[in-house]
């Protein structure tokens, strides 16, 4: 599990990714915390994030690695703390 801190359109957010937390303000899949970030992942679930020189990643709220890719692509991530997963596509892509 890890924490992601950043900004969505100038609004600060903090979420935990890895396990749902029922006590959080908002939860969708393995993302819990700030409603602004959780609702972004919920609204864009199933979309593909394309990145230069890397395999595309389909956003899946049950997959922590794809959630991190999405947050990095669609928000201004300022800090990631904890055990950060590597998406399967990145682990197998050539260096």
pLDDT tens digits, 62-76? 999 999 999 999 999
Which residues partner with 80 through β-bridges? 4
As to burial, measured by CB atoms within 10 angstroms (0-12 exposed, 13-18 middle, 19+ buried), residue 28 is buried
Query: In this predicted model, what pLDDT tens digit does every residue of 15-65 receive, in sequence order?
Result: 999 999 989 999 999 999 999 999 999 999 999 999 888 899 999 999 999
E-assigned strand segments in 1-95:
2-8, 11-17, 26-28, 31-33, 48-51, 54-58, 76-82
Q: Is residue 95 part of a domain?
A: no
- In the numeric block, the tokens 């050539």 are attached to 94
Show the domain range for 33: 2-84
User: When comparing pLDDT for 84 and 70, which is higher?
Assistant: 70
- Decide if pLDDT at 93 tops 80: no
Q: What integer pLDDT is reported at residue 80 of this predicted model?
A: 96
Q: What is the DSSP letter of 59?
A: -
Q: What integer pLDDT is reported at residue 52 of this predicted model?
A: 85
Q: What integer pLDDT is reported at residue 84 of this predicted model?
A: 81
Using DSSP's 3-state secondary structure scheme, residue 60 falls into coil
Q: Is residue 94 part of a domain?
A: no
Q: Is residue 92 part of a domain?
A: no
Overall number of domains in the chain: 1
């Amino acid at each position: 599990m890890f924490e992601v801190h950043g900004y969505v359109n100038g609004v600060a957010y903090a979420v935990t990714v890895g396990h749902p937390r029922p006590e959080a303000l908002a939860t969708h899949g393995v993302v819990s915390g700030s409603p602004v970030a959780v609702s972004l992942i919920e609204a864009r679930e199933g979309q593909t994030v394309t990145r230069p020189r890397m395999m595309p990643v389909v956003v899946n709220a049950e997959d922590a690695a794809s959630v991190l890719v999405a947050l990095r692509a669609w928000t201004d991530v300022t800090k990631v703390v904890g055990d950060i997963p590597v998406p399967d596509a990145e682990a197998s892509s050539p260096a």
